[in-house]
């Protein structure tokens, strides 16, 4: 084995890691007398230690101030959602006015499609990837039917054209070009949830624009994982959740992006709610809806303050760490895991995530030799020894080393346990 891939070298990398202190900012689940080796930040991030304090702050305000908490102090609830705007904008590469924390991902996706999927008889088609996360496909099919069209004709799914189920940029461009005259919306993920493939969002936006289609992104597996430049790339919208890499808790408040070119366009249809009304006249309770300028104008209800509090705690950590440093460590972690699997487990595990650094994030998706039954057996064995990844049907184990709290030595623990299971 190369010394660079040894456990000893991993320990040295951890000792020299400039982000090593951030692990102490999280509550690591226990396994037996030690800590669990947790690789599921792509599904539910660990709890930041600061989350409880942020929630308790709100609870104390509620106890001490009751309704006056809406209007009192620097963390007053009336504008609480804006406490995360600047930091969230930094994570996704946007202007603060272009982002808002609200609702959940599926709700936000529907709200965005109300405004940006405007089908006509000539342009009724939505294009997305085959095998999309179910919430996206359900929402797309529902929107097509809502507008009186047939998904069998108006939902186009781009099939994988590369080994292991990934999709080339050429295949995406070809599909957009082929259906261009009928395309109303291109809806694409930043990271494909099953394969872990990262897509070139700038190129996809350019393809869609060339053919006159709107473009939106589901960034559920991208935000906090890979660098984003939403303002510069300039899709019409994007949606995401905060409970994965943003570590904001189960069912956390989600996020949305609306590019600034749409902020003052009052001709865009939208489902209006009173918290999307401009703040200056909101409490006049007039019947006319005057949308707030910016992504805030797509809000419906007043924000869930208790739900936003953990997001504040997590974003403080992202601001301190910096996305550039997080991405650099992520590349090193995932690259090391890829190399270890290929060197030590070639007869046991197959890597299906692209090998190019720019085409993957934290997640490495793996297939187990012997098919689904062997895959489930390995997954359940790893759970029993405190090494937690996650399972995605039909046959994929996802391992996601997350740079805020995973260590290089964690990768060796995973590989060693797979070797023990396989009898190597």
CATH number of domain containing 288:
3.40.640.10
Residue 42, domain member (yes or no): no
Q: Identify whether residues 270 and 342 lie together within a single domain.
A: no
Q: Are residues 271 and 391 in the same domain?
A: no
pLDDT beneath 70, residues of the chain: 1-2
Based on the fold, state whether residues 259 and 120 are members of the same structural domain.
yes
CA distances from 235 to 124, 201, 202 (A): 19, 9, 9
**Residue 113 near residue 143, CB atoms below 8 Å:** yes
288 with 358, same domain: the answer is no
376 and 232 inside one domain: no
Q: Please identify, among 319, 351, 381, the residue that sits at the C-terminal boundary of a domain.
A: 319
Instruction: Please tell me the predicted confidence (pLDDT) of residue 96.
Output: 98
**Domain assignment of residue 159, given as a range:** 55-319
Whether 340 and 253 share a structural domain: no
Q: Tally the domains of the chain.
A: 2
Domain-located, residue 33 = no
- The answer to whether the CB of 310 falls within 8 A of the CB of 48 is yes
In a domain, 22, yes or no: no
Answer whether residue 37 is part of any domain: no
State the pLDDT at residue 1: 54
Identify whether residues 406 and 375 lie together within a single domain: yes
Distance from C-alpha of 319 to C-alpha of 80, rounded to nearest angstrom: 18
Q: Which two structure tokens, joined as six digits, stand for 290?
A: 């005057």
Q: How is the beta sheet containing 396-399 ordered, strand by strand?
A: 349-351, 364-368, 396-399, 390-392
Q: Identify whether 46 is part of a domain.
A: no
Structure confidence at residue 4 (pLDDT): 85
Is residue 206 located within the same domain as residue 348?
A: no
Of 300, 319, 338, the position where a domain reaches its end is: 319
At residue 3, the pLDDT reads 86
Q: Which of 290, 319, 348 is the last residue of a domain?
A: 319
For residue 254, being part of any structural domain is answered with: yes
- Cα separation of 318 and 85, whole Å? 13
């Amino acid at each position: 084995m190369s010394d660079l891939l040894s456990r000893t070298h991993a320990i040295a990398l951890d000792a020299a890691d400039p982000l090593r202190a951030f692990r102490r900012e999280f509550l690591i689940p226990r396994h037996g007398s030690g800590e669990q080796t947790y690789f599921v930040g792509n599904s539910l991030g660990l709890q930041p230690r600061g989350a409880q304090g942020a929630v308790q702050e709100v609870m104390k305000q509620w106890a001490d101030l009751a309704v006056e908490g809406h209007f009192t102090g620097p963390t007053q609830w009336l504008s609480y959602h804006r406490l995360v705007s600047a930091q969230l904008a930094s994570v996704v590469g946007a202007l603060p006015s272009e982002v808002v924390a609200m609702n959940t991902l599926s709700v936000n996706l529907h709200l965005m499609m109300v405004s940006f999927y405007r089908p006509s008889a000539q342009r009724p088609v939505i294009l997305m990837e085959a095998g999309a996360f179910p919430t996206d496909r359900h929402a797309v099919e529902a929107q097509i039917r809502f507008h009186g069209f047939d998904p069998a004709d108006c939902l186009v799914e781009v099939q994988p054209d590369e080994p292991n189920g990934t999709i080339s940029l050429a295949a995406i461009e070809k599909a957009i070009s082929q259906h261009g005259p009928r395309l109303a919306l291109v809806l694409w993920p930043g990271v494909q949830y099953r394969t872990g493939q990262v897509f070139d969002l700038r190129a996809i936006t350019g393809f869609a624009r060339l053919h006159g289609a709107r473009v939106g992104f589901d960034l559920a597996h991208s935000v906090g994982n890979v660098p984003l430049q939403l303002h510069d790339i300039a899709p019409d919208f994007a949606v995401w959740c905060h409970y994965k890499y943003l570590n904001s808790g189960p069912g956390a408040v989600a996020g949305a992006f609306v590019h600034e070119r749409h902020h003052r366009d009052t001709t865009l249809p939208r489902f209006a709610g009173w918290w999307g009304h401009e703040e200056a006249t909101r409490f006049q309770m007039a019947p006319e809806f005057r949308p707030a300028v910016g992504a805030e104008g797509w809000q419906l209800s007043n924000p869930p303050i208790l739900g936003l509090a953990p997001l504040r705690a997590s974003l403080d950590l992202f601001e301190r760490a910096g996305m550039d440093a997080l991405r650099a460590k992520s590349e090193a972690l995932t690259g090391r895991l890829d190399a270890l699997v290929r060197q030590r487990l070639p007869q046991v595990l197959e890597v299906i995530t692209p090998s190019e650094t720019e085409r993957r994030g934290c997640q490495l998706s793996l297939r187990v030799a012997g098919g689904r039954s062997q895959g489930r057996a390995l997954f359940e064995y790893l759970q029993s020894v405190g090494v937690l990844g996650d399972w995605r049907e039909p046959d994929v184990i996802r391992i996601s080393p997350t740079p805020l709290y995973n260590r290089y030595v964690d990768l060796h623990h995973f590989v060693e346990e797979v070797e023990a299971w396989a009898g190597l």
